[in-house]
Amino acid sequence: MDTPSPPLSNVQLELLKVFAYQVSDEDLLELKDTLANFFAKKAIQSANEAWDKQGWDNQKVDQLLNTKLRKRSS
């Protein structure tokens, strides 16, 4: 049984409208790079906000890096 697809997001709809025509492979790669940079920038901003909100410093990050968070399976 096929499950219904969720509706397209506002971003998907806008991209479909804007790019309703063929673009070169070079332009497609540039677009992918631009989108990747956009979302990377958003992720970094979010991480910086969390860093500031939690009051973290390099010592806290070192502590987290040296903490084993995974449980051993029996």
Domain ranges, ordered by start, for the chain: 10-65
pLDDT of the residue at 67: 87
* Closest C-alpha among 32, 3, 37, 39 to residue 15: 32
For the question of whether the overall pTM of this predicted structure is more than 0.75, the answer is no
From first CA to last CA, the distance across the chain in angstroms is 38
CB 8 within 8 A of CB 16: yes
pLDDT in tens, 5-61: 889 999 899 989 988 888 899 998 999 999 999 999 999 999 999 999 999 999 988
Tell me how far CA of residue 74 lies from CA of 11, 28, 54, in angstroms: 45, 48, 34
- Alpha carbons 33 and 35: distance in angstroms, whole number: 5
- Alpha carbons 51 and 59: distance in angstroms, whole number: 12
